[in-house]
Amino acid sequence: MFLRNSFLKPIKEFLFLILACGLIFLFNLALEYQNFLSFKEQRHFFIEEARLENIQEKLRKNGRKYFVLKLKTADFSFYTTTYKDLNLSKNELLSLRIINEKVDFKDYLAKSFYAPSYDFKILAKREENAIITYFLKQHESEKMKEFYGALFFAKSVSKELRNDVNHYGIAHLIAISGYHIGLLFSLIFFLFAPLYSFFQKRYFPYRNLRFDLSILIFILLFFYAYLIGFVPSFTRSLVMALFGFYLLAKNIKILSFFNLFLCVLICLSLYPNLLFSVGFFFSILGVFYIFLYLHHFAKFFGVLTNLVLINLWTFLAMIIPVLYFFPLISYQQFLAIFLSLIFVLFYPLVLFLHFIGAGFLLDHFLLEFFAFKFHSTNFILPFWAFCSYLLLSLFGIYFRALAFFGILLNLIPFIFI
């Protein structure tokens, strides 16, 4: 009887957690639907204030010029077009009307959609947060402002810079996610540990240094998340890091697929819009493939070898998922394997340079770096192939050979360059 109760208890706890997350998800979904109904009450919805995040000039086949605008309100982001040259610039505040007739609940829940617009009025140029302004004003090049704006503050980037980044296959380094949390956590811990240790040994030796500093760092990371607007990939990573910290404090195994599933469940229940976030999806996959490597192969190698192989494994594993959404492929993307290792030094270096007001020092080198390009092509991956690969990856949890075979499949697209 005791053994039976011991077996059933974790199952009951798991089912309770599933139920709780399900109820929270439905509650948040209902709130979003109420907001959607209010949004649809006006067919020509008036937006009192929207910040211009990006603007691109394009040409139609007939040679007529038009502008694609990306705007952000307090509730959602959206794209629209205008044929008028309004002489707009980033961060300007606008009021306008959008025609929301074709915006359905899925689009609204995703917090990103397209809507025709009219009646533009320029309100003012919104001043950035003082910290963001301090960082970005150190650069004269617009591309460098975009690069560091994305790297440090999750700002949107132009099509040109996105193309540069995709040529190197380093979008995961630019988009703020768990990788950056790990770097920031390690960096802050390294800086504060000696100072805290000095006072701890003298005044409060009964305290746990790692626990106390972890709490402090998580507080700083939540402030950082607020500063950058709780972007999906960073939010997922932060929730997962907190969940991992809780498990560690409880002496429970952290690196497990089950815990990854629970973390995803919690994130989706709190933020239903993450269902449609590509960045969130990529961040989950990245962690999944790291776990897959550790599950099957970590025991065969030492720490340093595993660090190198995890980097290679994750790069290869993500080729097919990334190609499905961003079809550009080039042999240049193999440089991402080495760039990911270099990034561990690059990130704290440029962060330090910006803190002392010298963030511009590497601008010339980076501009030359982004200008360098190999031949590339677009490789359109069918939906069935994408789903088959994901299914194969899941079965790879149970079969080591299958996991390794799945990784090798990612080399096939390079044949078509």
87 three-state secondary structure: coil
Number of residues that make up the chain: 417
Residue 125: the pLDDT is 64
pLDDT of res. 2 = 43
Look at residues 132, 137, 99 and name the one whose alpha carbon lies nearest to residue 118: 99
DSSP string, 124-137: EEPPPPHHHHHHHT
Instruction: Report the CATH number of the 42-127 domain.
Output: 2.40.50.140
pLDDT digits (tens, 9 = 90+) for 135-161: 999 999 989 999 999 899 888 888 888
| Interatomic CA distance for residues 47 and 75, integer angstroms | 11
Q: Give how far Cα 310 sits from Cα of 40, 109, 252, 271, Å.
A: 47, 35, 23, 30
Task: Give the global pTM.
Answer: 0.81
Cα distances from 108 to residues 53, 76, 201, 325, 370, in angstroms, run 18, 8, 54, 20, 35
pLDDT at 253: 66
pLDDT digits (tens, 9 = 90+) for 246-262: 777 777 666 678 878 88
Domain segments of the chain as ranges: 42-127, 134-185+228-416
Q: Please report which helix (H) or strand (E) contains residue 59, including its range.
A: strand 44-59
E strand or H helix that includes residue 295: helix 278-296
Q: Tokens in use for 44?
A: 């020509």
Cβ atoms of 397 and 260 within 8 Å: the answer is: no
**Would you list the DSSP string of 143-182?**
HHHHHHHHHHH-----HHHHHHHHHHT-HHHHS-SHHHHH
Spans of the chain, pLDDT less than 70: 1-10, 125-128, 232-233, 252-255
